Amino acid sequence: MRVIAGKVGGLRLKVVPGSSTRPTTDRIKESLFAMLGDRVLQADVLDLFAGTGALSIEALSRGAKSALMVEKSPQAIQTIRHNVAHTKLDQHVAVWRADAFRTLQRLIKQQRKFHLIFVDPPYNAALVQRVFQHDCAGLLQKKGFIVVEHANKEEINTPAKNLSLYRQTSYGDTIMSIFVRT
């Protein structure tokens, strides 16, 4: 697994040992960031279920301003910290070892805003729908995006009245659903 493009493009990233995480493939990352294009520039990013931190690191490499990576696994947190230090992007990153749902509640109370939210939970655990039960659209800047990576068998309902499906692309067993705040 590597950073595809940008200022640290080509650097290899460490993966979390074992099978507890499912890193986003380079092919899917490349396609996703081609779809997002310039929307990544100067973006504030929230990465829920951050895993290795690869999606946020890719965004930062391509010009995002900051990233808040949220992960509850201690092994994944160690991997994220290693990857952030290895890419020398640590001045732009906050890493929280926390539950994604408690973090959502906390950020909503603080009235934080992001341009881009990545949601990449374990597949087929109904966690995406739980994320959308919170007012995650309220965390988005106007025209901000929520990018959801999920199993092709996991159906994602239109999450909220102020979010609409922007694009959905299938990659074998994986679907990338992108919602935009209207």
In a domain? residue 7: no
In a domain? residue 25: no
- Along the chain (182 residues), what's the average pLDDT of each consecutive run of 10 residues? 91 82 80 92 96 95 97 94 95 95 94 94 77 81 91 75 87 89 87
In a domain? residue 138: yes
pLDDT for the residue numbered 19: 62
In a domain? residue 18: no
Whole-angstrom distance, CA of residue 147 vs CA of residue 136: 12
Q: What domain count does the chain have?
A: 1
How many of the other CB atoms lie within 10 Å of CB of 111?
Answer: 8
In a domain? residue 24: no
In a domain? residue 14: no
Please give the structure tokens belonging to residue 38: 């310039």
Whole-angstrom distance, CA of residue 169 vs CA of residue 11: 26
- pTM (predicted TM-score): 0.93
Torsion over CA of 50, 56, 58 and 60, rounded to 10 degrees?
-160
pLDDT for the residue numbered 105: 93
Residues 115/41, Cβ–Cβ less than 8 Å: no
In a domain? residue 77: yes
In a domain? residue 149: yes
pLDDT for the residue numbered 21: 67
Q: What range does the domain containing 137 cover?
A: 31-181
3-state secondary structure of 106: helix
CATH of the domain at 49: 3.40.50.150
3-state secondary structure of 93: strand
